[in-house]
Amino acid sequence: MRIVLLGPPGSGKGTQAALVVERLGVPHISTGALLRNAAKRGTELGLQAKSIIDKGELVPDNIMSDMIEERLGRDDVAGGFVLDGYPRNLAQAKSLDIMLERLNKPADEAIHIDIDTEQIIKRIAKRAKEEGRSDDTKETVRNRMRVYAEQTAPVADYYAERGLLTRVLGDGSKEEVLQRILSILDLNTSSA
């Protein structure tokens, strides 16, 4: 199963993606993790990306598309994947469709995690404290939410128009949200 997971910053995409891939046995492809790992290794791309991310801005489409295409071309995605953090704008969504068609791996489902802003602020503050992430400052979060509203939120409409989008409520425990997602995917939810 090939899944595109969408939602605002702090909606739980990464947490849910990790739980879903555990159930499906497919790779979790997180652009955030790919970029943070590149930054940690000190690669040129990683350092450029870190500078951009620390400002709460999006990494340029061409860099992200190249990175995603390389990752989706690996053998371990033959049985599917959960894509988390990409696409973040309409150009990336259209590029992803072309890329997936070329790779003969079209998306099966796009899931948008819906959550209110107050919950997001609480989650991001908690994550910043627990993980010490430099991209989770109050200023950066405000900018990320603005960028999300302007650039990323329309991606959900794009997938809805294609008949691939399902929205899931992101409030509640991670187990409750997982059950909602597994229900959408028609997977057995009793042993989650």
Q: Per-residue pLDDT tens for 47-97?
A: 887 888 788 777 888 888 877 888 898 899 999 999 998 998 999 999 999
User: Where residue 122 sits, what CATH number does that domain have?
Assistant: 3.40.50.300
Asked if residue 191 belongs to a domain, the reply is no
Catalytic residue chosen out of the listed positions 36, 50, 123, 144: 144
What percent of the chain is predicted at pLDDT more than 90? 48
Q: Does residue 191 surpass a pLDDT of 50?
A: no
Catalytic residue chosen out of the listed positions 13, 36, 50, 123: 13
Catalytic residue chosen out of the listed positions 2, 50, 88, 123: 88
Q: Is 88 a catalytic residue?
A: yes
Asked if residue 112 belongs to a domain, the reply is yes
Q: How many domains does the chain have?
A: 1
In terms of residue numbers, what domain contains 33?
Answer: 2-181
Q: Is 162 a catalytic residue?
A: no
- What per-residue confidence (pLDDT) applies to 66? 79
- What per-residue confidence (pLDDT) applies to 188? 56
Asked if residue 16 belongs to a domain, the reply is yes
- What per-residue confidence (pLDDT) applies to 29? 94
Q: Is 167 a catalytic residue?
A: no
Q: Is 144 a catalytic residue?
A: yes
Asked if residue 43 belongs to a domain, the reply is yes
Q: Per-residue pLDDT tens for 135-165?
A: 677 777 778 888 888 988 999 999 999 999 9
Q: Is 13 a catalytic residue?
A: yes
- Give the 3-state DSSP-derived string for the chain, with helices as H, strands as E and coil as C: CEEEEECCCCCCHHHHHHHHHHHHCCCEEEHHHHHHHHHHHCCHHHHHHHHHHHCCCCCCHHHHHHHHHHHHCCHHHCCCEEEECCCCCHHHHHHHHHHHHHCCCCCCEEEEEECCHHHHHHHHHHHHHHHCCCCCCHHHHHHHHHHHHHHHHHHHHHHHHCCCEEEEECCCCHHHHHHHHHHHCCCCCCCC
